[in-house]
Amino acid sequence: MNKDQNESVLHSNNGPYPEDIFGQYKMESPVFGNKKINSTQNQQRKKKKKVLKPIRLHTLSATRRRKCTSNTSYHTTYTSHTGTKSNRSNVNSLLINDNILRIKKLENKLAEAHTKARELIVENRLLKTFGKRHENALSMYEGKQAKLPQVIKSYEDEIRTLKNQIRHIKISFKEMENSYKSQNIELISLEKQYKHLLGLSQNKQLSKKEKLSDQLDEAQSTIKKQDDKILNIMKNLELQNKSHRYHINVEHIKLKELQHEVKRLEDENQNLRSNLDKLKNKNHSSRQSFTKGTTEDSISIVSRVSKPIPTTRDGQGDEIDESFYKTNGSISLKPESIQ
């Protein structure tokens, strides 16, 4: 039975052992009945009878074993039952080395889990800061104190006032057109009178002609005055038409600019909303991956333990190796210290 156990232990340790394990942990003599065998007793027993040591098929030493590239296991053959003590010491040393390697692996996995947790904490902080920034940006476009609705409202008020101004200008322009038409009608009537007077002056006497010439001069002076008035009115109408067209063009340009700005702000609002949703989804997925990774690590650690080891139970009912706490004094992972 002991021989089968020893062969299974030797078969399981195919990998090379590092040098620091052989340097840190010294080989101790085997214990029988809670008492160690002294060197003097060993010498006396050697004198009395020979101890048959196990013959190894592979003749490499413990320090050279890690340099061997072959994957062949180290078999041992036993010639007699008298060498069981040395075999037990070898088995105990191999078990200690195996446990040390397992502890080192567990320490490395624990350090990796700590680094992953720190990275996830930093990532969560960054995601929270980005979320706050996006919420502040969205608060500018939504809510009672948002700037965008206030700007849109002010622009709408300006558009309303400009439309009223355009309406008043159109009304004044129509009035000017009506006055211009009435003055043209008066001018036509005066021209007809002038022609009639010219015809009368040619047919009658000089006295009447003088009177008519005076009347003609007066009529011409009035016509000139009316012509000057008409010219001034025409100039004023042209200026008003130009100013009216200019104002209309300016208002059209402002309206187009306002429409483009409103469209741009709406697109920006949609982009910010989509980015915020992506960040929330990413934060949720990162939390799920962190919880999933921790559960997988705990399951893999429990599955690797092949031999029963004295364990303790933490507050959650999980079994923890006590030898792990004894060998690793620098890292305290007992359930009492975990908050």
The range of the structural domain enclosing residue 112 comes to 2-116
201, 213 in Cβ contact below 8 A?
A: yes
Distance of CA 201 to CAs 42, 145, 187, 193, 222, Å?
171, 85, 21, 12, 19
Q: What's the CA gap between 182 and 226, in Å, rounded?
A: 12
Q: Are residues 112 and 146 in the same domain?
A: no
202 and 96 belong to one structural domain? no
Give a yes or no: residue 333 inside a domain: no
Within a domain: residue 329? no
Same domain, residue pair 176 and 271: yes
Is 22 domain-assigned? yes
Q: 124, 283 in Cβ contact below 8 A?
A: yes
**Pair (190, 268) in one structural domain:** yes
In a domain, 63, yes or no: yes
| Residues 152, 291 share a domain | yes
List the structure tokens of 127.
Answer: 């995601």
Domain count for the chain:
2
DSSP track, 43-73:
HHHHHHS---PPEESS---TTTGGG------
* 164 shares a domain with 64: no
Q: Tell me whether residue 319 is in a domain.
A: no
* Residue 161 sits in the same domain as residue 295: yes
Which of 105, 113, 61, 52 has the alpha carbon at shortest distance from 83?
52
Looking at the structure, do residues 108 and 155 belong to the same domain, yes or no?
Answer: no
Residues 14 and 60 in one domain: yes
Q: Three-state SS for 76?
A: strand
Kindly state whether residues 81 and 168 are assigned to the same domain.
no
Is 135 within the bounds of a domain?
no
Residue 264's Cα: distance from chain center in Å? 23
Hey, is 306 helix, strand or coil? coil
Q: Could you read off the pLDDT tens digit of each residue along the chain, which spans 339 residues?
A: 444 444 444 444 444 444 444 444 444 444 444 444 444 555 555 555 444 444 444 444 444 444 444 444 444 444 444 456 678 888 888 899 999 999 999 999 999 999 999 999 999 999 999 999 888 877 777 766 677 778 888 889 999 999 999 999 999 999 999 999 999 999 999 999 888 877 776 665 656 667 778 888 888 899 999 999 999 999 999 999 999 899 999 999 999 999 999 999 999 999 999 998 888 888 888 777 767 666 655 555 545 544 454 555 544 445 445 444 444 444 444 444 443
160 and 272 belong to one structural domain: yes
SS3 243: helix
157 domain-assigned: yes
pLDDT at position 170? 93
Residues 51, 157: one domain?
Answer: no
Q: What share of the chain is helix, strand, coil (3-state, %, to 5)?
A: 75, 5, 20
309 in any annotated domain: no
